[in-house]
Structure 1
Amino acid sequence: MTGQKGRWPKVDHGGGVEDAALLILDWLAEQGVNAMLRVDAERLTEGRPSWTFVASGGLLSTGMRADGSSAEVCLSLAVARLRELGVDVPY
C-alpha cells in the first residue's frame, strides 16, 4: 500500500513487464512449473544483478535460473532460457 488513504497504487494495464510477468507465471503454473520472480536489495547495493527468475518441475527436466539488472532484463533472459529448454512460452 502507498500509505496514502489506504489505497493501492493504480497499475498501467497498457502493457509492460508487470503484465508479461504475471501472464508468464500464470501460464507456467498451468503447465505444472513452479516459478518465481524475485528482487534482492542486498545484491542491488553490492552492484550485482538484483533480479532473479527461477523455475522447476512440470515441463522442465531440470531447474533453471536467470539473473538480471532489471525486471525486464531478467524476464527476457528467463523466457529465452525456458525456450532453450523446450518450454515454448507463448508471450
Structure 2
Amino acid sequence: MSKSKGRWPELDPDSGVEEVTLLILEWLGEQGAGAMIRVDAERLREGRPAWTFAAGGGPLSMGLRADGASAAACMNLALLRLREAGLAVPF
C-alpha cells in the first residue's frame, strides 16, 4: 500500500472483521440494502485482488464496491466506504 497519496486506508489484519462479516451483511439487509461478498477464482489465479464486496439499495444512494486480496482486506475497505457513505455500521 502506498502511503504517499493517502488514498488507501490502514488495514488491521488482527481486527477480526471476518468474524462479523455475516453480521454486517445481515445488518445491511435489515436496512434495506442488498449486499454480498465473493471470491473470484480467476482473479486469484492471476494474482489480482480476488475478494469483492458489493452493496446497494436501501440507505445507499449509489452502489458500493470494495476489492481486496483477502476477505479481511476487502471487508475493512468495505466498512470504510460504508461509513463514508453515512452508514453507522454497528460492528
Q: Is TM > 0.5 for Structure 1 vs Structure 2?
A: yes
Once residues 51 and 19 of structure 1 are traced to their aligned partners in structure 2, the CA distance between those partners, rounded to angstroms, is: 16
- In the TM superposition, residue 19 of structure 1 has moved relative to its aligned partner by 2.8
TM-score by length of 2: 0.80
Query: Larger Rg: 1 or 2?
Result: 1
Normalised to the residue count of structure 1, the TM-score between the two structures is 0.80
Q: Which has the higher contact order (CA 8 A, sep 6+)?
A: 2
- Percent identity between the aligned chains? 66
Q: Aligned ranges for residues 57-68 of structure 1 at < 5 Å?
A: 57-68=57-68
Structure 2: how far apart are the matches of 1:50 and 1:17?
17
The 5 Å alignment of 1:4-83 reads 16-83=16-83
Q: Could you list the runs of 5+ residues in structure 1 that have no partner in the other structure?
A: 1-15
RMSD, aligned α-carbons: 1.3
Count of aligned positions = 77
Structure 2 gap ranges (5+): 1-15
Structure 2 CA distance for aligned equivalents of residues 31 and 65 of structure 1:
17
Higher strand content, 1 or 2 = 2
